[in-house]
Amino acid sequence: MSKRQLAMVMDLNKCIGCQTCTVACKTQWTNRNGREYMYWNNVETYPGKGYPKNWMELGGGFDASGDIKAGTIPNLEADYGVPWDYNYESLALGETMLPNVEPTWGPNWDEDVGTGSFPNDNYFFYIPRICNHCTNPSCLSACPRDAIFKRDQDGVVLVDLDRCQGYRFCIAGCPYKKIYFNPKISKSEKCILCFPRIEKGLPPACAQQCVGRIRFVGFLDDEDSQVHKLVNKYKVALPLRADYGTQPNVYYIPPTEAPVKFDAEGKIIEGSNRIPAEELEKLFGSEVHTVIKTIKSEIAKRKVTGKSEILDLLIAYQHSEMFRLDNNYYNNIAKSKGLNAVAPVDQRYLKGLNTKTVSHFSLNAGGGHH
Amino acid sequence: MKTEFFKIKTAFSFGFLAFTSSTLFAENIIATKVNSSFEGIETSNIIKDLKFTEISVYPQKTIVLNDKSVAEKNSQNISKIIKVSAIYNDSDIAFVIKWQDRTLSIQEGYKTDIYGDGFAVQFPKDYSDPKKLPYIGMGSENREVLVHLQKAVPNIYEPNGNGNVELQISRNNTNYFDEELKQFDQNVSNLARIDYQKSFVSAGFRSLTEIKDDSAKVDMNMVYNHNYGCWKGTLSRKLKDEYINLNSPSFPVAFAIWDGDKNNRGGTKLLSSWQTVTLDGKTGGEVLVSEINNIQTGNLENGKAQFKANCIACHIAGEMKSAMSFMAPDLTNIGGYASSAYIRESIIDPNAVIVPGYNRNAHKNFEWYQIVDGKRISTMPSFSWLDENITNDIVSYVQTLKTQIKEEKK
């Protein structure tokens, strides 16, 4: 376990599936050098097969007794999809628009498909996914070369490309399939939580660019961070598939608001909800019912009193409140290692005061909130 | 590695003997002295009429890795015979290794789940005490090994540290067209390393660390013969460098091969036990040769009974599966790749060789060692209290724990 843990909260009630986060990540990190097929950030439609296809069925993570579970390495054509492009240059010459490879699958292949019968009870919602920077990362445990490490200062899980030999046991080991094989360099690569940005005072690109303002970023032990409040204080944010046993550090506000269902005559079924509770329970565990209750009662409270701190947090008024990075902290680490502390490029999200007051080792601090 | 290794379609003049089970006991490899240089050895005449020694390589079974496809494709693996020959001159030594692999596998193209065939040669850093050689699985603490690896992986674009960031962008992000774009592609492809040849130092599985400077310079090649369906690997290196000194009457060596078609990589491989090489014309290496190739004789029946009484509560071994999975190293093939000295040492002093092993968090219920005062202490208690005859019987029995040798006709 790292000394501190940087975490992200995503509010699924507000995700509109616009893929701006996906594009922000792609243009920043994965549009080149063998990473073309990778989506360190993707937004998938649930229910759906997701990306890579059927990732929830591909194994990995830990079983109930704590043994790492065997997994499968997805196939590029069948499970990820080969990135394709079109012959735009030839269109002016009168040619038909054609993809350069036959598309087989992609990061948003089954976008907006969902399930149920229209218009009575069909439904879907979006789940944006990045690496969970787990407290108990199974990619790290699976690596037979000690090539994956979890940074002490913020719990970011990274691949040491110097040590990685491209065996891909990490990919089999990750239950979220959020670590990828780069065939060009024959090594594994993954989401780095934009650590070069974070250290300079900028939130990860996916969070910064999110038009729905659904992403909160901060240290779990920083009691003033909205991440801490949503995860630990109000307990309305839950990890995805915690049953995999990796203790993920991306938390989700489950989708509490969904339209009502219609009966066979097209009449509203009062009190119904299109998203089945058992589906939410599968994704977020049994605590999801408590979270839904809490949020619904906060909505009711707000209607009467006009006040609710949880809803104020979820409305996400200011980026400067949603992102609480800690440049002083990173600078002090850099100084202690004799490195040049980098001046922040953006002052808006810096607080940095909490490092003087927070104990990194108290039972309430740091990663393992499970 | 020559890039044409996968293009070669005609038979070579070296006669390929059928891979049959004529070798039951380890044989010494005799390196003959030649006067020529080893430049271009993979196609040179000097390796034409070499005498080959047959060596058995066994599937690594000590640990189980977490890839489902590996388990499916390798569950029926039995041992294979590889043929090894060695020559040396005043400054260098070369090995030629031939093994049958009917499925040519090259890790190339934009793919996520294919693997290349490959081979590795391992030397102990210190072999002054042949009873205390490094652990066969890439060494152990204070008993380091040097590993040379060659994989059938062409065109690797590893981060080169040259700072040529202008060539590390997507071609779509350039503002080039036509000829300029072709030139850009050419410049990018010039960055490729076409030879997946690596040298490592290691003090135990998981500690393997690549030597990235030129201090362990070797020349390795793999040539595939389509007619015979077999690989010929060559390794030539200095007899002495800053890591090891092989300029000695005899020294130990070990080999491993990977079958990419069976998703072999890393610990999923076939490996030999420590073998011995003697440099022809030098005298005095007999002790090492006899010690490493020593087969413990004892009462096998009693050895098996004692093994059942003392060992299988923790260790799985072939059909003896009463121990829980991941509780202790699997001994199914241990006789195939461990020497009698190592087996004896492990029984009497389990703390003598403790490898970092897989990440202990992968199977945290059964940690194979504890860290006490910065030292690894084995979970296994010492069995030094056993009567020496009983220990002998157990060692002799454990040496028989290995899969059969593959009967493969031409």
Is the confidence at residue B20, as pLDDT, over 60? no
B63 and B208 housed in the same domain:
yes
A319 three-state secondary structure: helix
B309 and B180 housed in the same domain:
no
Is the confidence at residue A360, as pLDDT, over 80? no
Q: Is residue B202 part of a domain?
A: yes
Which contiguous run of DSSP H or E holds residue A304?
Answer: helix A287-305
Average pLDDT, chain B: 88
pLDDT tens string B230-250: 999 999 999 999 999 999 999
- The phi, psi pair for A295, rounded to 5°, reads -65, -40
Query: A6-362 — its CATH code?
Result: 3.30.70.20
Q: Is residue B46 part of a domain?
A: yes
- For residue A92, the chain B residues in CB contact (below 8 A) are none
Contact A26/B at CB under 8 A: no
Q: What residues pair up with B145 in beta bridges, in sequence order?
A: B124, B202
CATH classification of the domain holding B361 = 1.10.760
B197 touches B218 (CB < 8 A): yes
- Boundary residue ending a domain (B245, B267, B292): B292
- The phi, psi pair for A289, rounded to 5°, reads -65, -40
CATH classification of the domain holding B243 = 2.60.40.1190
Q: Is residue B404 part of a domain?
A: no
List, in order, residues 6 or more apart from B198 with CB less than 8 Å away. B148, B149, B210, B211
**Which among B66, B111, B207 is the nearest to A169, CB-wise?**
B66
B242 touches B201 (CB < 8 A): no
Which of B62, B113, B181 should we substitute to test contact with A (largest number of A Cβ atoms within 10 Å)? B113
Q: At A330, is the pLDDT very low, low, confident or very high (cuts 50, 70, 90)?
A: confident
Is the confidence at residue A158, as pLDDT, over 60? yes
Q: Is residue B406 part of a domain?
A: no
**Dihedral sign for Cα atoms in the order B299, B305, B309, B312:** positive
Q: Is residue B343 part of a domain?
A: yes
Q: Quick one: residue A54, left, alpha or beta (phi over 0 = left, psi -120 to 50 = alpha)?
A: left
Distance CA(B244)–CA(B143), nearest Å, equals 12
Q: What is the pLDDT of residue B130?
A: 94
Distance CA(B357)–CA(B363), nearest Å, equals 11
Contact A245/B at CB under 8 A: no
Interchain CB distance below 8 Å, B68 and A70: yes
Please give the share of chain B, as a percent, with pLDDT higher than 90. Answer: 69
Distance CA(A78)–CA(A104), nearest Å, equals 7
Q: Is residue B383 part of a domain?
A: yes
- For residue A167, the chain B residues in CB contact (below 8 A) are 265-266
B283 and B348 housed in the same domain:
no
Which of B107, B166, B258, B359 should we substitute to test contact with A (largest number of A Cβ atoms within 10 Å)? B359
B215 and B71 housed in the same domain:
yes
User: What are the sequence ranges of the domains in chain A?
Assistant: 6-362
Average pLDDT, integer, range B199-218: 89
Which domain range does residue B362 map to? 300-398
Domain total in chain B: 2
B39 and B145 housed in the same domain:
yes
A355 touches A333 (CB < 8 A): no
Q: Which amino acid is at B157?
A: Y
Is the confidence at residue B6, as pLDDT, over 60? no
Length of chain A: 370
Mind telling me how many Å the CA of B67 is from chain A's nearest CA?
A: 5
Distance CA(A159)–CA(A210), nearest Å, equals 26
Interchain CB distance below 8 Å, B153 and A186: yes
B223 and B314 housed in the same domain:
no
- Boundary residue ending a domain (B292, B322, B345): B292
Distance CA(A317)–CA(B81), nearest Å, equals 70
- For residue A85, the chain B residues in CB contact (below 8 A) are 172
DSSP assignment of B342-403? HHHHHHH-TTS-----S-GGGBTTS-SEEEETTEEEESSPP-TTS-HHHHHHHHHHHTT-SP
A9 touches A237 (CB < 8 A): yes
- Boundary residue ending a domain (B292, B310, B326): B292
pLDDT tens string B40-79: 888 888 888 899 999 999 999 999 999 999 989 998 889 9
Q: Is residue B109 part of a domain?
A: yes
Q: How is residue A77 written in tokens?
A: 């054509």
**Dihedral sign for Cα atoms in the order A219, A223, A229, A233:** positive
- The phi, psi pair for A149, rounded to 5°, reads -140, 160
Q: What residues pair up with A59 in beta bridges, in sequence order?
A: A71
Q: What is the pLDDT of residue A346?
A: 64
ipTM confidence: 0.91
* Burial of B210 (C-beta count, 10 Å sphere; 0-12/13-18/19+): middle
Write the CA distances from A172 to A9, A59, A169, A187, A247, integer angstroms: 26, 7, 5, 14, 17
Distance CA(B191)–CA(B239), nearest Å, equals 31
A291 touches A256 (CB < 8 A): yes
Q: At B193, is the pLDDT very low, low, confident or very high (cuts 50, 70, 90)?
A: confident
Contact A187/B at CB under 8 A: yes
**Which among A73, A82, A140 is the nearest to B113, CB-wise?**
A73
Higher pLDDT, A75 or A357: A75
Interchain CB distance below 8 Å, A76 and B172: no
Q: How would you classify the pairing of strands B230-238 and B209-210?
A: unpaired
**Dihedral sign for Cα atoms in the order A243, A244, A246, A248:** negative
Q: What residues pair up with B97 in beta bridges, in sequence order?
A: B84, B233
B358 and B277 housed in the same domain:
no
Distance CA(A219)–CA(A153), nearest Å, equals 10
Q: At B1, is the pLDDT very low, low, confident or very high (cuts 50, 70, 90)?
A: very low
Distance CA(B239)–CA(B223), nearest Å, equals 24
DSSP state of B72: H
Q: At A104, is the pLDDT very low, low, confident or very high (cuts 50, 70, 90)?
A: very high
pLDDT tens string B324-333: 988 999 999 9
Nearest residue of chain B to residue A145 (CA atoms): B206
Distance CA(A18)–CA(A96), nearest Å, equals 28
pLDDT tens string A279-322: 999 999 999 999 999 999 999 999 999 999 999 999 999 898 99
Q: Is residue B408 part of a domain?
A: no
Distance CA(B103)–CA(A55), nearest Å, equals 30
A62 touches A136 (CB < 8 A): yes
Average pLDDT, integer, range A247-253: 97
Q: What is the pLDDT of residue B195?
A: 86
Average pLDDT, integer, range B133-137: 95
Which contiguous run of DSSP H or E holds residue A159?
Answer: strand A157-159
Contact A37/B at CB under 8 A: yes
Q: How is residue B100 written in tokens?
A: 């049958």
Interchain CB distance below 8 Å, B112 and A73: yes
Average pLDDT, integer, range A130-147: 95
B201 and B221 housed in the same domain:
yes
Distance CA(B247)–CA(A92), nearest Å, equals 70
Distance CA(A49)–CA(A60), nearest Å, equals 17
Distance CA(B404)–CA(B394), nearest Å, equals 20
B72 and B176 housed in the same domain:
yes
Which of A37, A101, A184, A189 should we substitute to test contact with B (largest number of B Cβ atoms within 10 Å)? A184
pLDDT tens string B74-116: 988 899 999 999 999 999 999 999 999 999 999 999 999 999 9
Is the confidence at residue A13, as pLDDT, over 80? yes
Q: What is the pLDDT of residue B12?
A: 40
Buried/exposed code over A167-192 (b: 16+ C-beta within 10 A; e: otherwise): bbbbbbbbbbbbbbbbbbbbbbbbbb
Residue with tokens 């210190």: B126
- For residue B359, the chain A residues in CB contact (below 8 A) are 140-143, 146
